[in-house]
C-alpha cells in the first residue's frame, strides 16, 4: 500500500484500566441511582398530573358558574322589560315574585336524581383522567334580588351543572362553537317559558296563538343542550392537556438522555434548559447538573490522536466471491467479509472505540479558515473515523456474493437488497451502512453525537445501487458492455426515477448520521491524471452526484493516491482547482496509525485499510484495534495475493 512521506509510528495512548471490582461497584451504584431517579420521576409526574387536573376542574366550574350567573342576570333584564310592556299578556301583574319564578324556569330546577347522576358522571371523568381524588366543593354564587330559598335552589343548580353538565342554552353555544350568540338562546328559553305559563294559568285569551307557541316551545327544547355533557368534556380536555404536557416533558428528558448517551452533553443540557418546564421540573434540573458533571470529567482528544480506518463493500457469500475467477484475487486483497466486519466492530466497541466524523475534528470558521476542534469523551473511550469506499454496487460485482443496492424498508430504515442463489431478492443488513445502523441502535454510545461513517462514492455506475448517471439515458457510443447488458434487462429504466430513489436513500442516511464524500466520478488516480481529465471528472461528479447527496466538501482519493507525496498542498495546481470547487477535506491511504495535516486552507487525513491484505501481511499494524487471529475468516483463500504481483 502507498505510504505518506510522513509515515511515523507515534506512541499509543495510555490505557486507563479500572479494577473489575471497582467498576462493578460503580455500575451497581449507577443502576441504583437510575432506578431511584425513575421512581422519583413517576411520583413527580403523578403529583403534577393530579394538581393540574384539580386546577382545571376548579377553573371550569368557575367559568360555567359565571356564565350561568350572566345568563340569569340577562334573563332578569329581558324579562323585566318584557313584563313591563306586556304585563297583561304575560300575567306578570303580581310583582317581582312572579318574575323571579319565571327566571327560575330558565335554570334547571328539576334536580331529583340528578345529583347522583352528576356525581356518577364526574366520577367517570375523574376515572378517565386516572385521578382517584375528589374535587373541592364549588364556591357559592350570590343571586341579587332573590330570596333565601330561591338563592339556595339556584346555587344548587349551578353547582350541579359544572360537575355533571346539566344544560343551559349557553352551553349549547359552547358545544357548537357559537359562544357569542347567547341572546338567541335566551329568546328561545323565554318563548318556551311563556308557553308554559299560559298552560298553567289556562289563559284562553291567547288560545288562537297556541300552535305557534307550542312550535316555539319545541324549538326551544330542541335548541337547549344539557349542560351535563360539558363538565366531563371539560375534564377530559383538561386531562388531555395534562397528558400532552407530561408526554412532552418525558420526551424532552428521554431525548436529552439519548444525546448524553452519545456524549453530546452540551446538546442535552441546552435542550433541557430551553424548555419552559425547566424552571419547575426538578428532573430536568438534576439531569442537566448530572450531564455537566460527566462532561467535566471527559478527556479531550485532538485530531492528531485520532485514527481513520476504511472498508470496501463486504463479502456476504465467500463461495461466490472466492470462486477462482479473475476477480477472486482482488476481492481477497481489498475486501472484508461480513463475518470479519461484525467481529471487528464488536471488538472495537468492547475496547472503548467511538465513531467520530471529520467535522468533529476540524471545521471551517466564519472567515473561511480551517480550525482544529477537540473531541470530548469519557475516560477509557477512544475516537476513530470510519469510512467505506465505492458504495455504488458496480455491475462487475453482480453474482459475486455482494449486496446489490441500498433501500428504505417499511420502517424507514436503510437496508440492503441481496440476490440469493435461486435469483430471488431479499432485504436485510448485508453491508457496512445497515450493519452499523443496527449496531448503533443497540449501542448508541458507539456514535459520537450520533455521527457515523463517511461513504465515498464514484458515479460512472451510479450511486448506492441506483443507475443515476446520465450515460444510462444518453447511451453514448463508448457505453461499456455492463451498462448495455443492464439496460437491455431493464427496459422500464427511467433516469428521474432512479435519481429520486437514490436521493431518498441518501437523505435518510444523512439523517442517520452518515456523511458523503467524492471518490472521484470515474475512480481516477489523482496522482497521475491530467488536469484536463481531473476537471472533467470533477464536473461529472458535481452534475450527476452532488444534487443527490446535497453536495460534499470531502474527497477520498481513489486507490488512496494523493495529489502529492505528503508535503503541503501549497502551490499545487490540482489542489488549487479542487479547493476552488469547494473541497476542504482530503483523505488518502496511509499505513500509519495517525496522519493528520492541517493548514488554514484544508484538513488532510490518512486512512488505514482493514482488508485481507493488511490482516494477512501486517496484523501488527492493526493490533491497536483488534486481534487479527480472532477475526480472520477461515473461508478466505491463503496466502492472500501480494499487491502489484510482488
Task: Check if the beta carbon of residue 622 is closer than 8 Å to that of residue 593.
Answer: no
**What is the predicted pLDDT for the residue at 72?**
82
With a cut of 70, list the residues of the chain below it in pLDDT: 1-21, 79-238, 645-646
Rounded Cα–Cα distance for residues 642 and 638 (Å): 11
Q: Which fold has domain 301-630?
A: TIM Barrel (3.20.20)
107 secondary structure, DSSP code: S
89 phi/psi in degrees, rounded to 5? -70, -35
Instruction: State the alpha helices, DSSP H only, in 86-147.
Output: 87-90, 96-106, 114-128
Rounded Cα–Cα distance for residues 597 and 296 (Å): 29
Q: Are strands 314-315 and 405-408 parallel, antiparallel or unpaired?
A: unpaired
Task: Check if the beta carbon of residue 86 is closer than 8 Å to that of residue 186.
Answer: no
Q: Are strands 307-311 and 405-408 parallel, antiparallel or unpaired?
A: unpaired
Contacts made by residues 84-90, CB under 8 angstroms, sequence distance 24+: 89/206, 90/194, 90/197
CA nearest to 520, candidates 489, 502, 542, 492: 542
Rounded Cα–Cα distance for residues 246 and 48 (Å): 9
Task: Check if the beta carbon of residue 248 is closer than 8 Å to that of residue 256.
Answer: no
Given CA atoms 93, 94, 99, 101 in this order, what sign does their dihedral have?
A: negative
Rounded Cα–Cα distance for residues 105 and 95 (Å): 17
Q: How many residues are given for the chain?
A: 646
CA nearest to 309, candidates 262, 351, 345, 264: 345
Rounded Cα–Cα distance for residues 579 and 30 (Å): 49
Task: Check if the beta carbon of residue 526 is closer than 8 Å to that of residue 563.
Answer: yes
Instruction: State the alpha helices, DSSP H only, in 590-638.
Output: 612-617, 628-631
**What is the predicted pLDDT for the residue at 53?**
87
641 secondary structure, DSSP code: P
**What is the predicted pLDDT for the residue at 307?**
98
CA nearest to 52, candidates 274, 245, 275, 229: 245
**What is the predicted pLDDT for the residue at 141?**
41
pLDDT in tens, 284-336: 999 999 999 999 999 999 999 999 999 999 999 999 999 999 999 999 999 99
Rounded Cα–Cα distance for residues 242 and 50 (Å): 9
Rounded Cα–Cα distance for residues 375 and 403 (Å): 34
Q: How many CB atoms lie within 10 A of CB 415?
A: 24
What residues contact residue 342 under an 8 Å CB cut-off, 6+ apart?
Answer: 435
pLDDT in tens, 415-443: 999 999 999 999 999 999 999 999 999 99
Element (H, E) at 223: helix 210-223
Rounded Cα–Cα distance for residues 101 and 91 (Å): 12
Coil, helix or strand at residue 574: helix
Strand order in the sheet with 405-408: 405-408, 414-419, 425-428
Count Cβ atoms within 10 A of the Cβ of residue 308 and give its class: 0-12 exposed, 13-18 middle, 19 or more buried. Answer: buried
Rounded Cα–Cα distance for residues 313 and 315 (Å): 7
Rounded Cα–Cα distance for residues 259 and 252 (Å): 11
Task: Check if the beta carbon of residue 272 is closer than 8 Å to that of residue 279.
Answer: no
HSE of 623 in the Cβ direction (CA atoms, 13 Å)? Answer: 6
What is the DSSP annotation of 3-37? --TT--PPPPPPP----HHHHHHHHHHHHHHHHHH
CA nearest to 67, candidates 102, 107, 121: 107
**What is the predicted pLDDT for the residue at 570?**
87
Phi-psi region of 412 (alpha: psi -120 to 50; beta: other; left: phi over 0): left
What residues contact residue 563 under an 8 Å CB cut-off, 6+ apart?
Answer: 526, 527, 557, 569, 572, 574, 575, 578, 586
Task: Check if the beta carbon of residue 463 is closer than 8 Å to that of residue 548.
Answer: yes
| Three cell numbers written together for 505 | 436513500
Task: Check if the beta carbon of residue 515 is closer than 8 Å to that of residue 454.
Answer: yes
- Helix orientation angle between 182-201 and 96-106, rounded to the nearest 10 degrees: 120
What is the DSSP annotation of 65-89? HHHHHHHHHHHHHHHHHHHHHTHHH
Count Cβ atoms within 10 A of the Cβ of residue 285 and give its class: 0-12 exposed, 13-18 middle, 19 or more buried. Answer: middle
| Domain assignments of the chain as residue spans, ordered by start | 13-230, 243-297, 301-630
Amino acid at each position: 500500500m502507498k505510504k505518506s512521506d510522513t509515515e511515523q509510528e507515534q506512541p499509543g495512548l495510555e490505557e486507563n484500566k479500572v479494577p473489575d471490582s471497582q467498576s462493578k461497584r460503580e455500575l451497581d451504584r449507577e443502576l441504583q441511582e437510575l432506578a431511584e431517579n425513575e421512581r422519583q420521576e413517576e411520583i413527580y409526574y403523578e403529583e403534577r398530573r393530579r394538581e393540574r387536573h384539580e386546577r382545571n376542574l376548579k377553573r371550569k366550574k368557575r367559568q360555567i358558574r359565571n356564565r350561568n350567573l350572566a345568563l340569569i342576570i340577562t334573563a332578569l333584564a329581558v324579562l323585566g322589560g318584557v313584563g313591563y310592556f306586556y304585563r297583561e299578556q304575560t300575567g306578570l301583574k303580581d310583582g317581582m315574585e312572579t318574575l323571579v319564578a319565571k327566571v327560575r324556569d330558565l335554570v334547571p330546577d328539576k334536580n331529583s336524581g340528578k345529583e347522583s347522576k352528576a356525581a356518577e358522571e364526574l366520577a367517570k371523568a375523574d376515572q378517565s383522567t386516572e385521578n382517584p381524588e375528589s374535587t373541592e366543593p364549588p364556591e357559592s354564587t350570590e343571586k341579587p334580588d332573590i330570596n333565601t330559598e330561591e338563592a339556595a335552589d339556584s346555587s344548587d343548580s349551578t353547582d350541579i351543572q359544572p360537575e355533571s353538565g346539566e344544560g343551559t342554552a349557553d352551553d349549547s353555544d359552547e358545544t357548537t362553537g357559537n359562544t357569542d350568540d347567547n341572546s338567541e338562546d335566551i329568546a328561545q328559553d323565554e318563548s318556551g317559558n311563556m308557553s308554559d305559563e299560559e298552560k298553567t294559568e289556562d289563559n284562553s285569551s291567547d288560545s288562537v296563538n297556541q300552535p305557534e307557541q307550542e312550535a316555539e316551545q319545541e324549538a326551544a327544547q330542541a335548541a337547549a343542550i344539557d349542560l351535563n355533557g360539558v363538565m366531563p368534556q371539560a375534564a377530559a380536555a383538561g386531562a388531555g392537556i395534562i397528558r400532552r404536557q407530561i408526554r412532552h416533558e418525558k420526551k424532552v428528558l428521554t431525548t436529552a438522555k439519548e444525546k448524553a448517551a452519545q456524549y453530546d452533553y452540551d446538546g442535552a443540557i441546552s435542550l433541557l434548559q430551553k424548555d419552559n418546564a425547566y424552571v419547575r421540573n426538578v428532573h430536568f434540573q438534576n439531569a442537566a447538573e448530572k450531564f455537566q458533571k460527566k462532561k467535566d470529567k471527559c478527556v479531550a482528544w485532538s485530531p492528531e490522536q485520532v485514527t481513520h480506518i476504511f472498508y470496501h463493500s463486504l463479502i456476504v457469500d465467500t463461495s461466490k466471491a472466492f470462486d477462482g475467477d479473475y476477480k477472486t484475487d482482488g476481492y481477497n486483497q481489498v475486501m472484508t467479509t461480513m463475518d470479519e466486519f461484525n467481529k471487528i466492530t464488536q471488538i472495537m466497541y468492547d475496547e472503548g472505540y467511538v465513531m467520530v466524523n471529520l467535522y468533529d475534528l476540524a471545521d471551517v470558521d466564519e472567515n473561511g479558515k480551517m480550525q482544529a476542534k477537540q473531541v470530548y469523551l469519557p475516560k477509557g473511550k477512544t475516537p476513530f473515523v470510519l469510512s467505506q469506499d465505492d458504495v455504488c454496487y458496480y455491475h462487475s460485482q453482480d453474482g459475486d456474493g455482494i449486496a446489490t443496492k441500498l433501500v428504505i424498508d417499511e420502517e424507514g430504515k436503510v437496508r440492503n437488497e441481496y440476490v440469493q442463489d435461486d435469483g430471488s431478492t431479499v432485504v436485510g443488513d448485508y453491508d457496512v451502512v445497515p450493519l452499523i445502523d443496527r449496531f448503533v441502535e443497540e449501542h448508541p454510545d458507539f456514535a459520537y453525537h450520533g455521527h457515523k461513517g463517511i461513504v465515498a462514492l464514484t458515479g460512472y455506475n451510479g450511486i448506492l445501487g441506483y443507475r443515476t448517471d446520465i450515460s444510462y439515458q444518453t447511451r453514448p457510443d463508448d457505453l461499456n458492455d455492463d451498462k448495455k447488458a443492464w439496460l437491455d434487462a431493464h427496459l422500464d429504466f427511467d433516469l428521474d426515477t432512479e435519481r429520486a430513489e437514490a436521493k431518498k436513500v441518501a437523505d435518510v442516511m444523512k439523517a442517520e448520521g452518515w456523511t458523503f464524500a467524492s471518490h472521484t466520478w470515474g475512480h481516477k488516480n489523482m496522482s497521475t491524471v491530467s488536469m484536463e481529465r481531473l476537471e472533467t471528472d470533477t464536473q461529472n461528479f458535481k452534475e450527476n452526484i452532488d444534487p443527490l447527496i446535497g453536495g460534499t466538501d470531502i474527497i477520498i482519493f481513489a486507490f488512496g493516491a494523493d495529489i502529492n507525496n505528503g508535503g503541503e498542498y501549497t502551490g499545487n495546481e490540482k489542489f488549487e482547482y479542487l479547493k476552488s470547487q469547494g473541497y476542504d477535506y482530503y483523505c488518502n491511504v496511509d499505513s500509519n496509525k495517525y496522519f493528520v495535516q492541517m493548514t488554514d486552507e484544508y484538513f488532510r487525513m490518512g486512512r488505514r485499510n482493514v482488508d485481507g491484505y493488511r490482516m494477512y501481511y501486517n496484523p501488527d499494524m492493526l493490533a491497536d484495534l483488534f486481534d487479527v487471529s480472532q477475526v480472520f475468516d477461515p473461508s478466505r483463500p491463503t496466502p492472500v495475493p501480494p499487491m502489484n504481483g510482488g
